[in-house]
Amino acid sequence: MAEVKILVEGRAKEIKTGWIATSNVILVKTDNKNIIIDPGCNRKKLIEALRKENLKTSDIGFVLLTHSHADHTLLAGIFEKAKVLTPVEIYNNDRQIEYDRKVLGTGLEIIPTPGHCPEHCSLVVSTKNGNYVIAGDAFWWTDGEKQKIDINRKDDAHPEELNMKKLIASRKKILKIADYIIPGHGKMFKVVK
Protein backbone atom coordinates (compact mmCIF):
# COMPACT_ATOMS: atom_id res chain seq x y z
CA MET A 1 0.00 0.00 0.00
CA ALA A 2 1.22 3.51 -0.80
CA GLU A 3 2.58 5.94 1.78
CA VAL A 4 2.45 9.73 1.45
CA LYS A 5 4.70 12.18 3.28
CA ILE A 6 5.23 15.92 2.93
CA LEU A 7 9.01 16.45 2.87
CA VAL A 8 9.08 20.23 2.55
CA GLU A 9 6.16 22.44 3.47
CA GLY A 10 5.41 24.84 0.64
CA ARG A 11 5.06 28.53 1.10
CA ALA A 12 4.04 31.54 -0.95
CA LYS A 13 4.58 35.08 0.25
CA GLU A 14 4.21 38.11 -1.97
CA ILE A 15 6.90 40.74 -1.46
CA LYS A 16 7.44 44.14 -3.03
CA THR A 17 9.71 42.76 -5.77
CA GLY A 18 7.93 39.43 -6.44
CA TRP A 19 7.44 36.30 -4.35
CA ILE A 20 9.17 34.05 -1.86
CA ALA A 21 7.75 30.70 -2.89
CA THR A 22 8.42 26.99 -3.03
CA SER A 23 5.90 24.20 -3.44
CA ASN A 24 5.02 21.44 -1.04
CA VAL A 25 7.42 18.62 -1.84
CA ILE A 26 5.82 15.21 -1.44
CA LEU A 27 7.33 11.73 -1.20
CA VAL A 28 5.19 8.77 -2.22
CA LYS A 29 6.46 5.27 -1.54
CA THR A 30 4.77 2.43 -3.40
CA ASP A 31 5.70 -0.86 -5.09
CA ASN A 32 9.35 -0.44 -4.09
CA LYS A 33 9.39 2.97 -5.77
CA ASN A 34 10.24 6.35 -4.31
CA ILE A 35 8.42 9.14 -6.12
CA ILE A 36 8.85 12.88 -5.58
CA ILE A 37 5.98 15.14 -6.55
CA ASP A 38 6.91 18.78 -7.25
CA PRO A 39 10.52 18.98 -5.99
CA GLY A 40 10.22 22.75 -5.47
CA CYS A 41 13.11 25.18 -5.49
CA ASN A 42 14.69 25.11 -2.00
CA ARG A 43 17.63 22.74 -2.47
CA LYS A 44 18.88 22.91 1.13
CA LYS A 45 15.48 22.01 2.64
CA LEU A 46 14.91 19.21 0.12
CA ILE A 47 18.32 17.55 0.66
CA GLU A 48 17.87 17.83 4.44
CA ALA A 49 14.36 16.28 4.25
CA LEU A 50 15.63 13.39 2.11
CA ARG A 51 18.45 12.78 4.60
CA LYS A 52 15.89 12.56 7.44
CA GLU A 53 14.12 9.82 5.44
CA ASN A 54 17.44 8.00 4.90
CA LEU A 55 17.19 8.69 1.16
CA LYS A 56 19.68 10.01 -1.35
CA THR A 57 18.80 11.74 -4.61
CA SER A 58 19.78 8.51 -6.39
CA ASP A 59 17.05 6.60 -4.47
CA ILE A 60 14.28 8.46 -6.30
CA GLY A 61 12.87 6.60 -9.33
CA PHE A 62 10.31 9.14 -10.56
CA VAL A 63 9.67 12.86 -10.26
CA LEU A 64 6.16 14.04 -11.15
CA LEU A 65 5.67 17.70 -12.01
CA THR A 66 2.07 18.87 -11.56
CA HIS A 67 2.79 21.83 -13.82
CA SER A 68 5.66 23.84 -15.25
CA HIS A 69 6.02 26.76 -12.81
CA ALA A 70 9.58 27.07 -11.47
CA ASP A 71 8.57 27.10 -7.79
CA HIS A 72 7.42 23.49 -8.36
CA THR A 73 9.99 22.24 -10.90
CA LEU A 74 13.37 23.87 -10.39
CA LEU A 75 14.99 20.94 -8.58
CA ALA A 76 13.75 18.11 -10.83
CA GLY A 77 17.25 17.64 -12.28
CA ILE A 78 18.97 16.76 -8.99
CA PHE A 79 17.55 13.22 -9.04
CA GLU A 80 20.13 11.57 -11.25
CA LYS A 81 18.34 8.23 -11.76
CA ALA A 82 14.77 9.51 -11.89
CA LYS A 83 12.45 9.57 -14.84
CA VAL A 84 10.68 12.94 -14.88
CA LEU A 85 6.96 12.89 -15.61
CA THR A 86 5.00 15.85 -16.88
CA PRO A 87 1.23 15.65 -17.36
CA VAL A 88 1.73 14.03 -20.80
CA GLU A 89 5.35 12.86 -21.16
CA ILE A 90 8.16 10.96 -19.48
CA TYR A 91 11.70 12.24 -19.74
CA ASN A 92 14.44 9.66 -19.26
CA ASN A 93 17.52 11.85 -19.63
CA ASP A 94 17.08 13.23 -23.17
CA ARG A 95 14.55 10.62 -24.27
CA GLN A 96 10.98 11.91 -24.30
CA ILE A 97 8.03 9.51 -24.57
CA GLU A 98 4.28 9.73 -24.14
CA TYR A 99 2.58 7.56 -21.51
CA ASP A 100 -0.86 6.58 -20.28
CA ARG A 101 -0.59 8.09 -16.76
CA LYS A 102 -0.38 4.60 -15.22
CA VAL A 103 3.41 4.22 -15.12
CA LEU A 104 3.89 4.95 -11.42
CA GLY A 105 2.33 1.80 -10.03
CA THR A 106 -0.68 0.32 -8.34
CA GLY A 107 -2.90 2.68 -6.41
CA LEU A 108 -1.66 5.83 -8.18
CA GLU A 109 -3.46 7.80 -10.85
CA ILE A 110 -2.44 11.01 -12.58
CA ILE A 111 -5.50 13.09 -13.45
CA PRO A 112 -5.73 16.25 -15.55
CA THR A 113 -6.70 19.27 -13.42
CA PRO A 114 -6.33 22.29 -15.72
CA GLY A 115 -7.21 25.84 -14.81
CA HIS A 116 -4.24 27.21 -12.86
CA CYS A 117 -2.47 26.59 -16.16
CA PRO A 118 -3.44 24.47 -19.18
CA GLU A 119 -1.17 21.45 -18.52
CA HIS A 120 -1.85 21.09 -14.78
CA CYS A 121 -2.33 17.60 -13.30
CA SER A 122 -2.79 16.06 -9.85
CA LEU A 123 -1.84 12.70 -8.37
CA VAL A 124 -4.38 10.45 -6.65
CA VAL A 125 -2.80 8.09 -4.12
CA SER A 126 -4.92 5.34 -2.56
CA THR A 127 -3.74 4.46 0.96
CA LYS A 128 -5.11 2.51 3.90
CA ASN A 129 -6.27 5.89 5.30
CA GLY A 130 -8.15 6.91 2.15
CA ASN A 131 -7.44 8.82 -1.05
CA TYR A 132 -4.84 11.56 -1.00
CA VAL A 133 -4.85 14.02 -3.88
CA ILE A 134 -1.61 15.87 -4.39
CA ALA A 135 -3.27 18.82 -6.06
CA GLY A 136 -0.43 21.13 -7.05
CA ASP A 137 -1.80 24.63 -7.49
CA ALA A 138 -5.40 23.61 -8.08
CA PHE A 139 -5.52 24.61 -4.40
CA TRP A 140 -2.97 26.91 -2.77
CA TRP A 141 -2.75 29.63 -0.14
CA THR A 142 -0.30 32.36 0.76
CA ASP A 143 1.55 32.39 4.07
CA GLY A 144 -0.79 33.29 6.92
CA GLU A 145 -3.93 33.10 4.76
CA LYS A 146 -6.81 31.10 6.23
CA GLN A 147 -7.22 27.83 4.32
CA LYS A 148 -10.89 28.08 3.47
CA ILE A 149 -12.24 25.82 0.72
CA ASP A 150 -13.90 28.01 -1.88
CA ILE A 151 -14.04 26.46 -5.34
CA ASN A 152 -14.68 29.94 -6.79
CA ARG A 153 -11.61 31.52 -5.10
CA LYS A 154 -9.78 33.61 -7.67
CA ASP A 155 -6.27 32.50 -8.56
CA ASP A 156 -4.32 35.56 -9.68
CA ALA A 157 -0.71 34.33 -9.52
CA HIS A 158 -0.44 33.69 -13.30
CA PRO A 159 -3.37 35.54 -14.91
CA GLU A 160 -2.09 34.98 -18.45
CA GLU A 161 -2.52 31.20 -18.05
CA LEU A 162 -5.57 31.09 -15.79
CA ASN A 163 -8.88 29.61 -16.89
CA MET A 164 -11.26 29.99 -13.93
CA LYS A 165 -14.00 27.84 -15.47
CA LYS A 166 -11.59 24.90 -15.85
CA LEU A 167 -10.05 25.54 -12.42
CA ILE A 168 -13.47 25.39 -10.73
CA ALA A 169 -14.24 22.11 -12.55
CA SER A 170 -10.84 20.71 -11.48
CA ARG A 171 -11.43 21.70 -7.86
CA LYS A 172 -14.84 19.99 -7.90
CA LYS A 173 -13.28 16.83 -9.37
CA ILE A 174 -10.55 16.77 -6.69
CA LEU A 175 -13.03 17.32 -3.85
CA LYS A 176 -15.15 14.36 -5.06
CA ILE A 177 -12.14 12.01 -5.14
CA ALA A 178 -10.12 13.11 -2.12
CA ASP A 179 -10.25 12.24 1.53
CA TYR A 180 -7.15 14.40 2.00
CA ILE A 181 -5.76 17.16 -0.21
CA ILE A 182 -2.18 18.34 -0.30
CA PRO A 183 -2.18 21.80 -1.90
CA GLY A 184 0.69 23.34 -3.81
CA HIS A 185 1.30 25.78 -0.94
CA GLY A 186 -0.22 25.45 2.51
CA LYS A 187 -1.14 22.63 4.87
CA MET A 188 -2.68 19.29 3.96
CA PHE A 189 -6.37 19.15 4.86
CA LYS A 190 -9.11 16.56 5.28
CA VAL A 191 -12.10 16.80 2.97
CA VAL A 192 -15.36 16.85 4.94
CA LYS A 193 -18.06 15.08 2.93
Cα separation, 128 vs 120, whole angstroms: 27
150 vs 159, which has greater pLDDT? 150
Encode pLDDT of 52-90 as tens digits. Answer: 999 999 999 999 999 999 999 999 999 999 999 988 888
User: Do residues 89 and 62 touch, judged by C-beta distance below 8 A?
Assistant: no
Long-range Cβ contacts of 25-28 (<8 Å, 24+ apart): 25/49, 26/134, 26/182, 27/53, 27/55, 28/2, 28/3, 28/4, 28/104, 28/108, 28/123, 28/125, 28/134
pLDDT at position 114 over 70: yes
Q: Give me the pLDDT at residue 66, please.
A: 97
Ordered domains of the chain (ranges, CATH): 3-190 (3.60.15.10)
Pairing, β 180-182 against β 189-190: antiparallel
Q: Give me the pLDDT at residue 104, please.
A: 66
pLDDT at position 144 over 80: yes
Place 27 in a pLDDT band, splitting at 50, 70 and 90. Answer: very high
Encode pLDDT of 94-106 as tens digits. Answer: 888 887 766 666 6
